[in-house]
Structure 1
Amino acid sequence: MAGQAFKNFLPLFDRVLAEKSAAKTVTKEGIMFPKQSQGKVLQATVVAVGSGSKEKGGEIQPAGVKVGDKVLLPEYGGTKVVLDDKDYFLFRDGDILGKYVD
């Protein structure tokens, strides 16, 4: 799922690389939203995860998400990363607000 772009990029420590979902432009009934009324996209899919953060005792605490998880991101923050002409966002594991469960 990670694709070719991630062969040369791996987040470090507790960083998580996510691809934001496309904003909804049409309702179930077929009504189109004007661009001005579309909200910020806060849902994303995790595409790469770092090894985790180091505890005081030296143990590695793994990230709370894994590749393929659908997560809720904060409205602001993250670092934009462009790989193969596609936009991704890098967040700390602790900045992710939650994950969707199927």
Structure 2
Amino acid sequence: MLKPLGDRVLVKPDAAEQKTASGLYIASNAQEKPQRGEIIAVGAGKVGENGERLPMDVKVGDVVIYGKFGGNEVKVDGETYLLMRADDIYAVVE
């Protein structure tokens, strides 16, 4: 597994919607990228100006909302994940 560094997080994105609300199937090339996922791993946090680590706002297991184009896709053992900065996360779903 990957261990993110600094203020980065590893996110498992939700599956893309394959049907519309009315039941029509969406072609794979027309499906939108999901903007929601689960935190799989977190880094140690950003180093502040005084040299101390700042705590992360998210933890493993949190479900989060992030930007559509945030992060970089990485594949580990055939699974696709997003590696992104904690600043790219907009909200935690409660």
Taking structure 2 as the reference length, what is the TM-score of the superposition? 0.87
**1:61 is the counterpart of 2:54:** yes
Distance 1:47 1:76 in 2: 19
Whichever residue aligns with residue 25 of structure 2, its letter is F
AA paired with 1:46? I
Matched, 1:23 2:16: yes
Structure 2 partner of 1:96: 89
Matched, 1:33 2:25: yes
Which whole-Å CA distance do the structure 1 matches of 2:39 and 2:24 have between them? Answer: 28
Q: C-alpha separation between the residues in 2 aligned to 1:19 and 1:79?
A: 12
Identity in percent: 35
- By how many angstroms is 1:37 displaced? 4.8
Say what the alpha-carbon RMSD is for the aligned residues.
1.6
Listed as ranges, the gaps of 5+ residues in structure 2 are: none
Q: Which runs of 4+ in 1 moved over 3 A?
A: 26-29
Correspondence list, 1:45-56, <5 A: 45-56=38-49
Q: CA deviation at 1:40?
A: 2.1
* TM-score (normalizing by structure 1): 0.81
How far does the alpha carbon of each residue in 1:20-49 deviate from its partner, in whole angstroms, 9 at most, with x for none?
0001223577x1332255322111110000
Instruction: Please tell me the residue identity of whatever aligns with 1:34.
Output: I
Aligned residues, how many? 93
